[in-house]
């Protein structure tokens, strides 16, 4: 698949480019020397793609093995959570003339900081 797919896509690309440029199906494209050189270049590209895919799969298997090995080890117990006592915040009473604008300001009096 890695050797055939690059050649097939190269052939399709060359034919589509020339078809869109001229408006006529370019059956003569396969007889040109540049097309043969391009096809010959697709073989090493397919091999490189195959080697990269194998390397990525091997790396994924190695990482999966490491994750599996780590998941088998016992997990250290987490010390119990010691929550701090919440700070007491006293808000000043809203002034009768401030109406809704008083809610936009921060509190003026903080206790326990």
19-33 residue pLDDT tens: 888 888 888 888 888
**Are 40 and 6 contacting, i.e. CB atoms less than 8 angstroms apart?**
no
**Are 32 and 18 contacting, i.e. CB atoms less than 8 angstroms apart?**
no
Instruction: Give 87-104 pLDDT, tens digit per residue.
Output: 777 777 766 666 655 566
| Residue carrying structure tokens 């994750």 | 67
Q: What is the pLDDT of residue 110?
A: 58
Record the pTM: 0.47
| Residue carrying structure tokens 């020339």 | 18
Q: Which two tokens stand for residue 41?
A: 């270049």
Q: What is the pLDDT of residue 104?
A: 62
Name residues whose C-beta falls within 8 Å of residue 87's C-beta, 6 or more positions apart in sequence: 110, 111, 112, 113
Q: What is the mean pLDDT of the chain?
A: 79
Give strand pairing partners of 89. Answer: 110
Whole-number Å distance between alpha carbons of 82 and 61: 40
| Phi, psi angle pair for 109, to nearest 5° | -120, 120
């Amino acid at each position: 698949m890695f050797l055939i797919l690059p050649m097939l896509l190269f052939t399709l690309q060359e034919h589509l480019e020339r078809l869109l440029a001229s408006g006529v199906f370019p059956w003569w494209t396969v007889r040109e020397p540049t097309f043969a050189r391009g096809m010959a270049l697709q073989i090493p590209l397919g091999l490189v793609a195959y080697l990269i895919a194998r390397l990525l799969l091997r790396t994924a298997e190695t990482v999966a093995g490491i994750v599996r090995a780590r998941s088998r080890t016992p997990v250290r117990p987490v010390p119990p959570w010691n929550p701090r006592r919440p700070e007491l915040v006293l808000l000043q009473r809203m002034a009768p003339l401030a109406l809704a604008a008083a809610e936009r300001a921060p509190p003026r009096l903080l206790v326990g900081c």
